[in-house]
Structure 1
């Protein structure tokens, strides 16, 4: 079974390599060529080349990395590594929680070491293309923080799940889901004030004039906001970003300092209006509801699959019963497959919400030209692919591709008042770039 799994993985990698690098696709439709959405109009030849090359490598890594994790989980099971870790953990102490902690530490450490080369390659790739500016020591520090945060979360989740399995082998998935609801809300509440500051420094926006404009915009949208925060990301990346995080009294409007340094006030206000659109249309609550529904379905399917696989192939997987913590890699394998399979649906909903937020921002600010130039700068800063291949869009893109976003914001939201704007006038620096070409 291990040999078959390796062969299937190898065939899959070859197929994805051909699809990403040689199948074509991702070209600009003729109707949009020469418009503000066409990357030729706002990116240099070098940027276009690097964007295409970088995007293909990242897309290929995405489609390879997740199945590679499945393969690792499978090998850990059939080679008896999980069972060995369980024996080591149970032999050291009689306390169940300490046994869980010991097993999870060994498993987490193994996964970290095995997947480290791929993580390092991604980091080095981002740095070589000028996206990441983060030093190796800083990157390692973030990786270690990730390890312990993930370990802490896993310890809580695993301890609860396997306690529930022992209490109710048939309905543990349902009880787990009930506990997922308060846990998810709690994590979202503490995220901005406990978890995020572990990685970066957050402080009130220094530009008080811009903060006043943002808060004025929030007031127009009837959003209760008192402060806008900025975060020091320039030491880690050249990419641009802004977001709204948290719920309740811990909700925050956050701007990366790279965004503040490279976008105009009008472009920043459009991005802020976009984030406010998510708040006004209650996308965060729809997101929580959707996540909880998918979690319910996922836990139910995981319980069914685990019971069937252990009953039929338990001897191969080295699992005697589902309540043994050594079955945890199987749980990770199944939930990861289900999560990957759900990506097209969840991403589709997310893209719809992002498009709605774009439309809201246009209606609130009326800054279509600033919206277009902001998206153009975002594309350049991240070397983003404006029109990805279909599978890439389905499985990777939580936001609409930039080709769609720029074209849509360049149109008038209220078609009754004004004809759609097909092309946004280029600024002087963009005209000079075109003359050079």
Structure 2
């Protein structure tokens, strides 16, 4: 049964693993310490999936034998490191992962399976603290070993960090290639978690670049995969809602973006995933009225929590435009009112050098109508108000349909519109079209 449960964990069949070990209860039925540690690891992984990070750490603490560096013990250290990452505490994750990782690597070499177990968790801890080179170094020449020997969550983390590092360095094509590889692995192994993580990260990239149609296509695929796999909301609901919210930002539908982020925040809190909860909070601040007291209080608290735990990348990774939100928030307040140190604020805002930062139109932002649109956008708006299709507009202006789509996307962004009809109504309200 212990072997069956272990196989189920690696196959991402968590319900089966839970069913196998459930008759044993919380207490390990094994006297031999190696088997006791394996049982503790399986129980810990299942606890993490249920949002019970503290309980998972306690399970490891009562099962660990000091001085042991066996493979099950290394897996146990990984479970503890993952628990801290789930809680948004990368410094503590690093404290657990680094010493064991260094010892194992010195004993077995860089590409040994034992040496690769902790690499993704350590890379994630480095990345969250804005140490990109350390994160990339932790994964270098190990991805193939991690793919062969890692549990699904670890495989997903490795590819996610690799893709984020590539994108932050300006290598979009490389980032997409990594994520497509992750999706292919998920399809090949029938592990929906890998496919879901790949699609969520691809949406993150496309949303950062304001590619609304790409986000919509990827979101449709994400929803389809979640339905087909019958994955429960308590596992992937927060990630799905944040992906939808990013899509709505890219298509300038800020009302629906806010609803998605509110739902994501609630689901993350229910699942006790503090890192996801924080990300949903700061994304909600991005699409809320900046002077609203609740928005300011939420942003201040998020900054404070981020500094306490070393989450430097929280804002830039959530959405690049959040850096401008934080900058504007800080410009209107003293450091005492912001609640974080100048050094930490500088590190957060320093991400502007690495992260692609498209312009995102603020919801309810006041605009000056005469300077709002270009001549081409104005012409397209007039034809749009006449009820013309993209094809008809392209023919009337003697341009391609892709050019029309591009200008419409810019129009929707400038007008905070979510549809063609909404764009026309907004333009009339701003005096850009006659009533």
- TM interval, short-chain normalised: under 0.3
Normalising by structure 1, what TM-score?
Answer: 0.26
Higher relative contact order (CA 8 A, sep 6+): 1
Tell me the TM-score normalized by structure 2.
0.26
